[in-house]
Structure 1
Amino acid sequence: MKFAVLPLLWMLALPAVAALAPQWQQELQQLTEQAARAALPPHAELQVQLGAPDPRLRLAPCEQVQAFVPAGQSLWGRSRIGLRCVAGAVRWSISVPVQVRVFAPAWAATQALPAGVTLEAAHLERRRVELSAEASPALAQAEAPLGRVLARPLEAGEGLRQSHLRQRLWFAAGAPVQLRLAGSGFAVKAEGQAMAPGLDGQPVRVRLDNGRTVLGQAVGPNEVELAW
Structure 2
Amino acid sequence: MISRAHIPATESLRRPALAVLLVLAGLPLVARSQAPAAALSGLSAELRLQVQDMAQSGARAGMPAQARVDVQVGQLDPRLKLAPCSQVQPYLPAGLQMWGRTRVGLRCVDGRARWNVTVPVQVRVFARAVVAAEPLASGVNLTQAQLATAEIDIAAVPGAVFTDAAGLLGRTLSHPVAAGEALSSSSLKMRQWFAAGETVQVRVSGPGYAVAGEGQAMAAGLEGQNVKVRFDNGRVVTGRVVGERRVEVLL
**C-alpha contact 1:124 1:144 (8 A) present in aligned 2:** no
Structure ID, larger Rg: 1
**C-alpha contact 2:230 2:236 (8 A) present in aligned 1:** yes
Tell me what 1:224 maps to. 247
Tell me what 2:38 maps to. 13
Q: Which amino acid aligns with 1:119?
A: L
Question: Matched residues in 2 for 1:65 and 1:180: separation?
Answer: 48
**C-alpha contact 2:99 2:122 (8 A) present in aligned 1:** yes
**C-alpha contact 2:201 2:213 (8 A) present in aligned 1:** yes
Residue 118 of structure 2 corresponds to residue 95 of structure 1: yes
**How many residues of Structure 1 are paired with residues of Structure 2 in the alignment?**
226
Tell me what 1:195 maps to. 218
Question: Matched residues in 1 for 2:248 and 2:113: separation?
Answer: 54
Tell me what 1:3 maps to. 28
Tell me what 2:154 maps to. 131
Residue 54 of structure 2 corresponds to residue 47 of structure 1: no
**C-alpha contact 1:9 1:65 (8 A) present in aligned 2:** no
As a proportion of its length, which structure holds more helix? 2
Unaligned runs of 5+ residues in structure 2 are: 1-25
Mapping for residues 46-195 of structure 1, pairs under 5 Å: 46-141=69-164, 143-181=166-204, 188-195=211-218
Return the offset for 1:124: 0.7
Residue 54 of structure 2 corresponds to residue 31 of structure 1: yes
Identity %: 46
Return the offset for 1:125: 1.2
TM-score (norm 1): 0.89
Return the offset for 1:192: 1.8
Structure 1 residues 160-186: Cα deviation after superposition (integer angstroms, max 9, x where no partner): 110100000111111122234578998
Q: Which amino acid aligns with 2:84?
A: P
Structure 1 residues 75-132: Cα deviation after superposition (integer angstroms, max 9, x where no partner): 1000111222111112222211100011111111000101100000011112212211
Greater shift, 91-100 or 156-165, is seen at 91-100
Return the offset for 1:27: 1.5
TM-score (norm 2): 0.81
Local SS of the residue matching 1:54: coil
